[in-house]
Structure 1
Amino acid sequence: MRTAIALLCVAAIAPVAAAQTPFPMITHVSPVAVQRGTTADVIVECRTSSLAGAYKVLIEGAGVTAEIAPNKEPAPKVPNPKAPTNPNILSGTLKVTVAPDAPLGVREFRIASTLGISSLGQLLIVDAPVVAEKPVPSTMAKPHPVPVPSVVCGRIKAPEAVDYYSFRARAGQRLTLEVTCARIQDKIHDLQKHADPLIAIYDTEGRELAAADDGYFADPVLTFTVPKDGEYRVSVRDAKYDGDPRWAYALSITDAPRAVWSFPLAVNPGQSVKAQPVGSAAVAGKDWLITAPTTPSIHTAPLKLNGTETNPVPVVVTPVPLIEEQEPNDTPKQATRVTLPGGANGRIGTKRDLDHFVFTAPKGRAVRLEVFARRFGTSLTSQLDSQIDVMTPEGKVLASNDDLNGKDAGLTFTPPSDGDYVVRVRDLNNKGGDGFIYYLECDFAKPDFAIKCDPAKAMIGPGSRTAWFVQVTRANGFTGPVKVDAQGFPAGISVNALTIPANMTQGLLVVSAAKNAKLDTSVVKITGTAAATNERGEAVQLTRTAVAVEEIYLPGGGRGRFDADTIAVAVTNPSDLLEIKVKQPRVTLKPGEEVRIDVEVVRGPQYTKDVTLDVLLRHLNTVYGNPLPPGVTMVEGKSKTLLGTGSTGYITLKADPNAPESTDVPVCVQGFVAVNFVVKIGYASDVIWVAVKK
């Protein structure tokens, strides 16, 4: 029924009438952290809609559950036509319970209500006691005292705001101070400007002893050795002295062993290897161990030593044989040899350090070279901004790359002849240090694909439908069709069959709710499966899990997209539009032919505002989802798409004279209504199966 996408907010445009069923848009939570092994009340703040009628919370991962605390507002059975349309922040309370062994780190969550399912919220699971910021403002002269260890939850509420905390520490004590703030804002829908937190430590006379700005991307982390017994103070502020009441943070102060980074970065599945931490856990003569999870991917895992554990650190789990760089390797002649397939753990240890690796490859067989170090939106937070160069053993550069995946370099190289080739790894800005760790993977390019689902959530009333746009990116010579499957729906929910043909990169899933579907919500898993041929000419099956595409509202009204972990669906009460009806369940076009699709909108009794029709997912002239077969377009001038307050319209499809043949491509018509200036919600028709026949 509903697919939310952003609308332009322009003062010169007349106000857009608000729909009566805005879903909750989470902006922040207070406190933002919960200690494992405890139960805590967490206030969730939203824009557009309150949490009245909320009935279930979906939280990513194991060990964390949440219940909706009783709300004084009654649960609405139908939308309220007199509901306020201004974007006041509204709140509700969750009772969050965290198991003693729950994995640490940030968790995504959504809240389902009778009217919809929320945008993503984020919650931090920690291992130290949580201290809430006091309502009385703090100053350098009157800081708020906090224990060590603790996690202080506060907010950088306004421009020029600075929060001060005091703690007592002993001479020689190694403390780690870390702020989690910016990294829990990236997936928030309606938070256009983000914090850039900075921390500083002072003595009681106000002298600055240490400071940190960017550590985990914009979030600072600081290792501090206490010079003498006594009291110290720490300040938290935005680096630009900006502020916002939605900028929630968690300041961790601990004397427990902490690893900011760890070397080696890559480990084989299930293997335990010696680890060299960077941070307060780095003590001469102590050998920590890290045990990799069993599934190849980017993970986090703690370092262990004699029953003591550090915080989880990033680890790349890979099945290829691994080596470590051998210094000196500053020239091609000193290059460390790596096999194909294989990988190398390395570190750009000093300024202007160059690491060289040599591999042997046959002529014409493509080789994939990729650095894993620093990837925005992942746990990889190395300080390295990598560049790689492929060279001859004599040093002639044959190929180069800077940013392939975030700040990580990578490329596919086809050797022009049999022999040795050298790959050089360096920092783009010629920096270096203990935190400039990386993993270089060298493998033959194998057919592959990635899959995404846009948007990341669905809200479906009984008897209604919503549209998900599935996008496939093929790589390394893979050109085949991809079969899409979805699992984990609540009872009464179904989707159409979908195979994205070899000549298409997008497909459509229409998620339908039976007329007797009951209120419920669940996390859904979408996968793509394809047949391919590996580098040895053997048939293999590829299965990839879809990444969720979370919609982000950009400054000026743009539609941003950020990769998330969870795709969710919720059955709601009947909403603004009860159904989008089309008369043609199948459309067959000849090349050059046009076909008109008649559309009827069945409105809810309370909704009398504008409706717009479309077959594409688009915003501000940018198309984000297009399920039409190759060569088929929507004819704008021959489609009645702006319905206003009417209930009928039509869409005209046209096949190009050279359109290739296609069969049973799923398409739907969506009716869009405005929630406010920046968001609209789409209600989908049943599947229209489109074919092109000569």
Structure 2
Amino acid sequence: MERQFPVFKRPSKDRELTLHSRPFFWDGGRGASSPLRNETVHPHLSNPTNDSRSMMTTRILLASLIALLAAATTAQAKPPTLDRLFPPGAQRGQTVAVTASGSFEHWPVRVWSDAPGVEISPAKEKGQLSVVVSSDAKPGVRWIRLSDEEGATALRPFVVGVLPELVEIESKDKPIVLESSRVTINGRLGKGGDVDEFSVPLKKGETLVAAVDANGLLGSPMDAVLQVASPEGFVVAQNDDDRGFDPRLTFEVPVDGTYVVRIFAFPATPDSTIGFAGGDAYIYRLTLTTGGFLDYSYPLAVTRSDPGQVEAHGWNVPETAKHLAVATDASHDRASLVHPDFANTVDVQLVAHAALTEQEPSDPAHPQAIPVPSTLTGRIAPARDQDIFTFNAKKGQSLNVVVESQSLGAPLDPVLRVTDHQGKTLNEVDDNGKELDIRLAFTPPADGEYRLSIRDLHGQGGDRFVYRLTVAAPEPDYELTLKSDRLTLTPDQAGTFEVTIERKNGFNGPIDVRFDGLPEGLNAPSVRSEPGKDTEKKVTLSLTATATALSGPFRVLGSTADGAMLERPARSVIEGVSATTDRPWLTVLKPAAPKAP
């Protein structure tokens, strides 16, 4: 749950500064409150004057030593670090104990979540959290951050699931027996050579879906492999890279029996490891179900103003859930499809222009005409299929042609070809190896009709070989990026945030960049980025705090200064994963302790 900045004021009497349940104590100097009061006089030191001088010298030396130690302790204080949460998820309506792995010099810590539905509080034992997931929480990822008076951790994911959840416990007895075929297992491959096995009862005619979330979502350094073994012990299904490094497989059960689902891993970054890999960071979520599981929606994009319904495609899709309504949100460009009959969710893109679907046969003899701009959802099926579309364009008109598929989790490796009305090839592109999608900047050489053809590079096809084609004129835009998602200041000291600006599609207007959501007492002037000047690609925001300790999220926003008010938040990459955030964190440290008199 998002929380506002807590502001901490220095009490006038006991010098105690309270932050939630943990008191901060101001060090006002040892002086008269020094504990060095009951010194023992050596019996051989009989001269009172010498005794007094000796005691005074001892007091001064010890007081100085204590002050130095206190200063060293203050200087060495470090912000908390959070490597991972385990278990990394829980079912809606569940309360779980979660271990926060990391470094915490102060405990308890404060906990922040980027979305509602999950309440997290620190337990008495350091590194332990209590997580309460509401029964109506929206399934999906919550990004969690821990903080104290010294700073904040990186964001870490916690997943709200739909199915009952279990936590894998290491045991010499393998495999672990599951009572149900519909469950999400939170597990860890704890050491090299580790293989986790789960026995699950299945009936003839059922379709088992097994899906792993580890590398892509949780940041686990593992390249996992999934296997299903028959009751006789033979491997009957295997997958290792259905979605990046995270495997997913489906298995049609031929006979009743108890089958074994097996997971093991190699390092995602190749090293000298020969056998299976493991370690504390090798955590995963394994979902097993013979119930509904979503693969994608058809279409993959809908018009924001009139989204309507989409078809649910996946496995074990019930009749009552074959069509799902799309709920739009003005603040997002995607809508999440949630239904109680499915173990997971998928997203559908929201667009401002026409959203179409492929109309068969869409072949060379019967191409499908599409308007510009538009976004179309199509499918390459059967194998060696080729979809053909036509559009009209003017000479010199700048157009962007985008084909998305593998980035959406589909197996299609698309090839795009652009031809003129005489059949002359003007462009033919595949992905460049680094990008999963095709992005082509196309300028028509003359007025007239042009053709787009889409096929699979390897001549494959099928129900899952879907794609999203967008043809549109490039719209001037910009992106703001932050190097870090955390900023720590001391009172009355200026801190800086470097903001990188990427101007897109010819955008050449000024951009005002500013902090947003800061509490009072902070001096944070906006900065203007202007084309043709030193600020065109990069600006530096300055922030000066008063002597008030505070901690909390904020945003950096850009807005155009030409009246169009094109507003964009600055984003930064979340440490350890490929996701980004637009909610960086500010910590203003408590004022330094007064020097001893």
Q: For the superposition of Structure 1 and Structure 2, which TM-score range results when normalised by the shorter chain?
A: 0.7 to 0.9
Write the distance in 1 (CA, Å) between the matches of 2:568 and 2:278. Answer: 40
Match of 1:550 in 2: 574
SS of structure 2 residue aligned to 1:395: coil
- The answer for the alignment partner of 2:202 in structure 1 is 169
Aligned to 1:43: 99
Does the Cα contact within 8 Å between 1:30 and 1:44 map onto a contact in 2?
A: yes
Structure 1 residues 570, 326: closer, same or farther in 2, change over 3 A? same
Cα deviation digits, residues 5-61 of structure 1 (max 9, x gap) = xxxxxxxxxxxxxx8344333222211111111221110111xx3262453212122
Q: Structure 1 residues 184, 347: CA separation in 2 closer, same or farther (over 3 Å shift)? A: same
Q: Aligned partners of 2:210 and 2:165: how far apart in 1?
A: 14
In structure 1, what is the equivalent of residue 235 of structure 2?
208
Deviation at 1:389, TM superposition (A): 2.7
Shift of 1:506: 0.9
Q: 1:513 to 1:364 in 2, by over 3 A?
A: same
Mapping 1:227-376, distance limit 5 Å: 227-239=254-266, 241-269=276-304, 271-281=307-317, 287-295=322-330, 298-302=333-337, 308=341, 311-331=344-364, 333-375=365-407
Q: Counterpart amino acid of 2:349? A: V
The residue number in structure 2 matching 1:500 is: 529
Identity among equivalent positions (%) equals 27
Matched, 1:569 2:597: no
Contact 1:131 1:146 in 2 (8 A): no
Q: Describe the SS at the equivalent of 1:183.
A: helix
Q: For 1:295-342, what per-residue CA distance to the aligned partner results, in whole angstroms no more than 9, with x for missing partners?
A: 3855352265xx8456311211112112211233343x5321110111
Residues 1:458 and 1:65: Cα distance change in structure 2 (over 3 Å): farther
How far did 1:475 drift? 1.4
Indicate if the aligned counterparts of 1:459 and 1:571 stay in contact, CA closer than 8 A: yes
Partner residue, 2:558: 528
Q: Using a 3 Å threshold, how does the CA distance of structure 1 residues 299 and 527 change in structure 2: closer, same or farther?
A: same
Say if 2:409 is the partner of 1:381: yes
Is the contact between residue 419 and residue 425 of structure 2 (CA under 8 Å) also seen in structure 1?
yes
TM-score (norm 2): 0.78
Instruction: State how 1:75-94 maps to structure 2 within 5 Å.
Output: 92-94=127-129
Query: Counterparts of 1:322 and 1:145 in 2: how far apart (Å)?
Result: 44
- The alignment yields a C-alpha RMSD, in angstroms, of 2.9
1:122 aligns with 2:149: no
Output the amino acid matched with 1:208.
V
Shift in Å, 1:292 = 4.5
Deviations 1:451-478 (A, max 9, x none): 2222112223333343221112111121
- Work out the CA distance in 1 between the residues paired with 2:495 and 2:458: 47
Instruction: Give the whole-Å Cα distance in 2 for the aligned partners of 1:531 and 1:349.
Output: 48
Deviation at 1:435, TM superposition (A): 2.0
Q: Choose the corresponding residue for 1:59, options 113, 125, 131.
A: 113
Mapped to 2, the partners of 1:113 and 1:280 lie a distance apart of 46
Q: Structure 2 CA distance, aligned partners of 1:518 and 1:25?
A: 20
Return the alpha-carbon distance in structure 2 between the equivalents of residues 462 and 71 of structure 1.
31
Tell me how far apart the structure 2 counterparts of residues 543 and 418 of structure 1 sit (CA, whole Å).
35
Distance in 1 separating the partners of 2:149 and 2:497:
21
Q: Does the 8 Å CA contact 2:569/2:582 hold for their aligned counterparts?
A: no
CA apart distance, 1:65? 2.4
**Matched residue of 1:154: which SS?**
strand
**Contact conserved, 1:52 with 1:71, CA < 8 A, in 2?**
no
Pick aligned residue for 1:512 from 526, 536, 544: 544
Q: Which residue of 2 aligns with 1:415?
A: 444
Tell me, what secondary structure is at the counterpart of 2:216?
helix
Residues 562 and 461 (structure 1), Cα distance of their counterparts in 2 relative to 1, 3 Å cut: farther
**Is 1:34 aligned to 2:64, yes or no?**
no
| Structure-2 change in CA distance of 1:94 and 1:147 (3 Å) | same
Displacement of 1:235 in angstroms is: 0.6
> For residues 208 and 334 of structure 1, what CA distance do their matches in structure 2 show?
45
The whole-number CA distance in structure 1 between the counterparts of 2:312 and 2:300 is 10
The DSSP-based 3-state class of the residue aligned with 2:441 is strand
| Equivalence for 2:41 | none
Cα distance in 2, alignment partners of residues 447 and 315 from structure 1:
24
Distance 1:336 1:531 in 2: 41
CA distance in 1, matches of 2:296, 2:215: 19
* Offset at residue 159 of structure 1 (A): 2.4
Amino acid at match of 1:564: T
Q: Following the alignment from structure 2 to structure 1, what is the Cα–Cα distance between the partners of residues 140 and 224?
A: 19
Q: Which of the two has greater helix per residue?
A: 2
Q: For 2:312 and 2:394, how far apart are their aligned partners in 1?
A: 36
Distance 1:314 1:514 in 2: 43
Give 5+ residue unaligned stretches, structure 2. Answer: 1-74, 268-275
CA contact (8 A) 2:420 2:426 kept: yes
Matches of 2:414 and 2:506 in 1, distance apart? 26
Matched to 2:378, the amino acid is G
> Which residue in the other structure is 1:645 paired with?
none
- The superposition leaves residues 85-136 of structure 1 with CA deviations (integer Å, 9 ceiling, x where unpaired) of xxxxxxx122122122222122222111122100121111101222111132
Task: Give the distance between the partners of 2:131 and 2:479, measured in 1 at CA.
Answer: 34
1:393 equivalent to 2:421? Answer yes
In structure 1, how many angstroms separate the alpha carbons of the residues matched to 2:109 and 2:234? Answer: 51
1:363 and 1:287 map into 2 onto residues whose CA distance is 44
Partner of 1:147: 180
1:356 Cα deviation after fit: 2.0
Relative to structure 1, the CA distance from residue 469 to residue 549 in structure 2 (aligned partners, 3 Å threshold; closer, same or farther) is farther
**8 Å CA contact 2:402, 2:471 repeated in 1:** yes
Which whole-Å CA distance do the structure 1 matches of 2:520 and 2:231 have between them? 62
Task: Name the aligned partner's letter for residue 391 of structure 1.
Answer: T
Distance in 2 (alpha carbons) for counterparts of 1:232 and 1:111: 41
Q: Which has the higher strand share?
A: 1
CA deviations over 1:468-514 (Å, ceiling 9, x no partner): 21112111121111111322224544422111111211111223321
Residue 566 of structure 1: how far off its partner (Å): 4.1
SS in 2 for 1:259: strand
Residues 291 and 341, structure 2, Cα contact 8 Å, conserved in 1: no
Residue aligned with 1:546, SS: strand
1:362 counterpart letter in structure 2: K
| Equivalent position to 1:104, from 139, 144, 147 | 139
User: Using a 3 Å threshold, how does the CA distance of structure 1 residues 573 and 451 change in structure 2: closer, same or farther?
Assistant: closer
- Distance across 1 between alignment mates of 2:183 and 2:388: 43
CA distance in 1, matches of 2:373, 2:366: 21
Q: CA deviation at 1:345?
A: 0.7
8 Å contact kept, 1:28–1:44: yes
CA distance in 2, matches of 1:338, 1:437: 18
Call closer, same or farther: CA 1:531–1:493 in 2, change over 3 Å.
closer
Distance 1:182 1:351 in 2: 31
Provide structure 1 residue ranges, at least 5 long, that are not aligned to the other structure: 1-18, 73-91, 533-538, 553-560, 579-602, 606-694
Shift of 1:213: 1.7
- Is the CA contact (8 Å cut-off) linking 1:24 and 1:119 kept in structure 2? no
Tell me which residue corresponds to 2:14: none
Alignment of structure 1 residues 427-438 onto 2, 5 Å: 427-438=456-467
1:207 to partner: Cα distance: 1.5
Q: Please give the alpha-carbon distance, in whole angstroms, between the structure 2 residues aligned to 1:303 and 1:60.
A: 19
